[in-house]
């Protein structure tokens, strides 16, 4: 059957697959909503919209949930960079997979650093619906 992925499976990934670990770290940082990532922009606009519509309690719960989630996301990074690898044999990451990872990582950074480009596109796309 399918094996469950355990936290220990990430042990030493920073040593074994440094590019994959760096990309995963960026994805986790974005999920946590840290500034200069797409996740921050998404959470910022989501919580801002909730406050504007009067859902202040919901926005507070969302922010608190984001703060708590940082612990879980950063725990994975601790295992990747501060624990010894469990296995020394690894398969190389296929080039197409690396390309997708690189595009996703660049997109997260681009959206975090320059959100107006995609936000303007999103705004224009909903104008006909109003």
Examine residue 32 and state whether it is found in any structural domain, yes or no. yes
33: region left, alpha or beta (phi > 0 left; psi from -120 to 50 alpha): left
What pLDDT, on the 0 to 100 scale, is given for residue 119?
87
Spatial contact of 47 and 63, defined as CB atoms under 8 Å apart: yes
What pLDDT, on the 0 to 100 scale, is given for residue 33?
95
Examine residue 81 and state whether it is found in any structural domain, yes or no. yes
Residue 115 has pLDDT above 90, yes or no: yes
Examine residue 103 and state whether it is found in any structural domain, yes or no. yes
Examine residue 1 and state whether it is found in any structural domain, yes or no. no
Spatial contact of 80 and 21, defined as CB atoms under 8 Å apart: yes
Examine residue 66 and state whether it is found in any structural domain, yes or no. yes
Residue 18 has pLDDT above 70, yes or no: yes
Examine residue 2 and state whether it is found in any structural domain, yes or no. no
- Residues 38-97: tens digit of each pLDDT: 999 999 999 999 999 999 999 999 999 999 999 999 999 999 999 998 876 678 889 999
More confident residue, 2 or 13: 13
Residue 13 has pLDDT above 80, yes or no: yes
Examine residue 63 and state whether it is found in any structural domain, yes or no. yes
Number of structural domains found in the chain: 1
Q: What is the mean pLDDT of residues 93-121?
A: 93
Cα–Cα separations (whole angstroms), residue 39 to 8, 33, 48, 52: 25, 5, 14, 20
Domain hosting 29: range is 7-129
Mean pLDDT in the chain?
A: 92
Examine residue 48 and state whether it is found in any structural domain, yes or no. yes
């Amino acid at each position: 059957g399918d094996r469950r992925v355990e936290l220990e499976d990430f042990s030493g990934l920073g040593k074994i697959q440094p590019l994959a670990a760096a990309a995963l770290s960026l994805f986790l940082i974005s999920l946590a909503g840290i500034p200069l990532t797409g996740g921050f922009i998404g959470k910022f606009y989501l919580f801002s919209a909730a406050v504007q519509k009067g859902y202040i309690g919901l926005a507070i719960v969302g922010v608190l949930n984001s703060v708590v989630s940082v612990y879980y996301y950063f725990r994975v990074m601790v295992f990747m960079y501060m624990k010894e690898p469990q296995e020394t044999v690894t398969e190389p990451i296929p080039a197409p997979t690396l390309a997708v990872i690189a595009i996703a990582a660049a997109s997260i950074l681009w959206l975090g650093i320059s959100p107006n480009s995609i936000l303007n596109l999103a705004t224009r796309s909903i104008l006909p619906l109003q």
